[in-house]
Structure 1
């Protein structure tokens, strides 16, 4: 019994010592959280690029379709070549159309002969009528025959002109100067008027670039369009990591906003003297954005996101932090622009934010530094 009592006493003593040690080593509930901080300072005007996905399009482009049906008998250009306005491109078999035209000309000659006969008859009957040697009705018939002959000749000439147009349409010319594509028809190909696409011709210098902006940006781009009389670095073009060496300018802002998307199309033009830009290419339009007011730039790691909103922890009195909602601007490398929510001179937490809550007490072992400067 004495041994059991001694054992119990020893166990109680050990338990007491362990509890005492635990109480002595446990951190208090309101212990200060170690963090790193930075003092917010007002920075100068921020300059960066807004980026928009874009597509390269020609300012002028046209599909070449035949206006007559037949077989291709001639191709008078090299695929992908530069062509001039009025240059001969294709010829279509003209034999049928030439034969029809000759027939139409023969019909015109017949009607011209009929007109001469009707004219002489009318003159003769009018001379007899002046001598009162013919019935008045005969004169009226002669005048009616003359009028009919004139109309028949006019109809024959119109028909001949229509057939001649088909002969002319059998030769296809470039509608404007530009670059022609790869021919979709070869010698001997049968083509149908208005349906077959023979080729496509387009301009490529300058080259247009189309992209869309939100309607909230219309005022900004309208001011850029009005104020930029010369091409400068405001508008540039990127293909991945490669930047096109020449700058562009606004050609036009579309007439209306899309009611469903709230967006509007903007068209830029870029010089393309070396023909590096091709229609249909995808690119990124870079629009230089120089902030008109002084803004703040803080490390992005200091920002906490909660349910789609953004916050930072601001150091207040008594070494406590308070959570402050902010409105973010563009991210610039490891930093981010703050549009609203912070004032110069305030101190925010940059490291240790994951351990913080509203009103938490913090300790800072590091020397306070200013917010990163803009480049």
Structure 2
């Protein structure tokens, strides 16, 4: 029995030591997570709807010859800028100069015959009044004068045509712009019969167009806004638009809509819009990929939060709000359009709410946090 009692005491002693060890190892409650909180930025914003498209030239011309002949001269540097009226190509003018000289000589001969016919008709007039010639001969003299006049008109038309052909040997720029490379070199035959020879291309550079396809709902929205602004007119011409190239994050190029397709494409449910943009430095080249956005609302005051502060719970969007006791709570919100790196919050926030901006992944309802208050910067792209 004494041995059994001693064993029980040892067991109780060891159990007590184990209990004391468990209490010493208990870490206690975890420390409050560090988060950054901020109040929503109240800012006047304008919503923009973004589309993708390509830059197009306002004017684009395929340069072709109007007369056939051997190309004598190429008078430009490939890729250079040319002005309207500049000489681009010269076709050998000698054959056309000879045709003009021949047409001028034929005109002079026709004019001489006309003068002779006038004299004959004047004499016939006097003789007919004196009854010295018959009516038939008098009519013949009048007819000869009309034929001579018609011959003069025909010769004058031939001279005009020959002058045009001679002028067409000088192929000049029909518009100002930037020219492509020459597709045919001096010494080759330029053909205008059948498959007309393409010599080069010329495109205007300032301003430029950008074409995009907008969905039906967006176009109706733009027209409703135009009706309110213009007191009844739904014309979208003049609606502000902005443009960004492939390497631009912002939209630095300012323009406006100047064309809306008269009908919707039934296959895609879209309407083509065209923006026009100044391009004095020629940064915008026809064919470049571009993003164009169209003003989708009038300026209004909005509450803005960074996208990273907004969580998703199935179909709901929410934020974490910190109260005066540093406890967080779940708050459902209704987000709106994206403005730069920020998001418009249409519903759910109250004045003075402090929202968790960084550290949201550590949170759950009711826990306490260690907040650091920060201020939100004005988002880039607010207009």
TM over 0.5: yes
Q: Distance in 1 between the 2:274 and 2:93 partners?
A: 45
Aligned to 1:111: 110
2:367 counterpart residue number: 364
Following superposition, the deviation at residue 67 of structure 1 comes to: 0.9
Deviation at 1:128? Answer: 1.2
* Pairwise CA distance, 1:143: 0.8
The 5 A counterparts of 1:286-365 are: 292-297=300-305, 300-304=308-312, 306=314, 309-312=315-318, 324=332, 326-330=334-338, 332-333=340-341, 336-345=343-352, 362-365=365-368
- CA-based RMSD of the aligned residues comes to 4.3
How many corresponding residue pairs? 323
Q: In structure 2, do the counterparts of structure 1 residues 371 and 292 end up closer, same or farther at CA, with 3 Å as the change threshold?
A: farther
2:41 to 37, 40, 43: 43
User: Deviation at 1:150?
Assistant: 0.5
Could you say which residue in structure 1 is the equivalent of 2:21?
none
- Which moved further from structure 2: 345-354 or 87-96? 345-354
Question: What is residue 27 of structure 1 aligned with on the other side?
Answer: none
Partners of 2:360 and 2:124 in 1: CA distance: 119
Following superposition, the deviation at residue 347 of structure 1 comes to 7.3
- Indicate if the aligned counterparts of 1:37 and 1:348 stay in contact, CA closer than 8 A: no
Match of 2:280 in 1: 271
Alpha-carbon spacing, 1:322–1:43, altered in 2? closer, same or farther (3 Å): closer
TM-score by length of 1: 0.68
Q: How does 1:185-204 map to 2 (within 5 A)?
A: 185-193=184-192, 195-204=196-205
The 5 A counterparts of 1:1-375 are 41-45=39-43, 52-193=51-192, 195-204=196-205, 206-212=206-212, 214-215=218-219, 216-217=221-222, 235=242, 237-241=244-248, 248-250=253-255, 252-256=257-261, 259-260=264-265, 261-272=270-281, 275-285=282-292, 292-297=300-305, 300-304=308-312, 306=314, 309-312=315-318, 324=332, 326-330=334-338, 332-333=340-341, 336-345=343-352, 362-367=365-370, 373-375=376-378
Alpha-carbon offset, residue 339 of structure 1: 2.7
Whole-angstrom CA distance in 2 between matches of 1:81 and 1:131: 76
Q: CA separation in 2, counterparts of 1:61 and 1:181? A: 11
Distance 2:83 2:54 in 1: 26
Deviation at 1:72, TM superposition (A): 1.0
Mapped to 2, the partners of 1:290 and 1:364 lie a distance apart of 41
1:219, distance to aligned residue in structure 2 (A):
6.8
Partner Cα distance (1:203, 1:300) in 2: 44
Per-residue deviation, residues 136-164 of structure 1 (Å, max 9, x unmatched): 22112111111121112111211231132
Q: Is the 8 A contact 1:314 1:349 kept in 2?
A: yes
Distance 1:164 1:227, change over 3 A: closer
2:56 and 2:211 in contact (8 A); partners too: no
- Report the Cα offset of residue 295 of structure 1: 1.4
User: Aligned equivalents of 1:338 and 1:84: distance in 2?
Assistant: 52
Which string of whole-angstrom CA distances, capped at 9 and with x for unpartnered residues, describes residues 120-143 of structure 1? Answer: 221121121232212122112111
**1:83 to partner: Cα distance:** 2.5
TM-score (norm 2): 0.67
CA distance in 2, matches of 1:157, 1:81: 40
Unpaired runs of at least 5, structure 1: 1-33, 229-233, 357-361
Alpha-carbon offset, residue 331 of structure 1 = 6.5
